[in-house]
Amino acid sequence: MFVIKKLSVVVIIFLSIELFPTTMRTVDYNSSFTDIITPNSGLHVLPPKVQAGIRLLQEQRLDSFRISSAINRYGELQRLIEGAYPIRVLEKSAYCLMFSNEQIPLGCAVVSGAEGVILVYCP
């Protein structure tokens, strides 16, 4: 009985490889594992504005940032927060991430910007 089950498993694996050759043979499991442990390896799948915001935050090597009310309403907010980790969202941070078409608060200065997103410093 055990031999038959073992043989059945081998046959199923063989048939899977033969019936679905591109799926089974082109998977690079080493690359997949490397992607899991490599920082920022999945950013390329995020929307351009989210990628730009994360890059702006990382370039400044910030510990925290806050977000404007427009970004707070943006549909990809959760992905921005997750992608920016370990940079934290803190309401009292001096750095604010905003859309470039938003009015910059008085006393704040633009630090950098890209793809319709700006990072401002508000002391």
The Cβ-side half-sphere exposure at 39, using a 13 Å CA radius, reads 6
Question: Burial level of 111, CB count in 10 A (0-12/13-18/19+)?
Answer: middle
Q: 100 burial class (0-12, 13-18, 19+ CB within 10 angstroms)?
A: middle
Tens of pLDDT, residue by residue, the chain (123 residues): 555 556 665 556 665 666 655 554 566 666 656 666 676 667 778 888 999 999 999 999 999 999 999 998 988 888 999 899 999 999 999 999 999 999 999 999 999 999 999 999 999
Spatial separation of the C-alpha atoms in residues 64 and 87, rounded to whole Å: 5
For every residue of 1-38, DSSP letters joined together read -HHHHHHHHHHHHHHHHHHSHHHHHS--HHHHHHHHHS
Task: Give strand pairing partners of 88.
Answer: 64
Global pTM reads 0.68
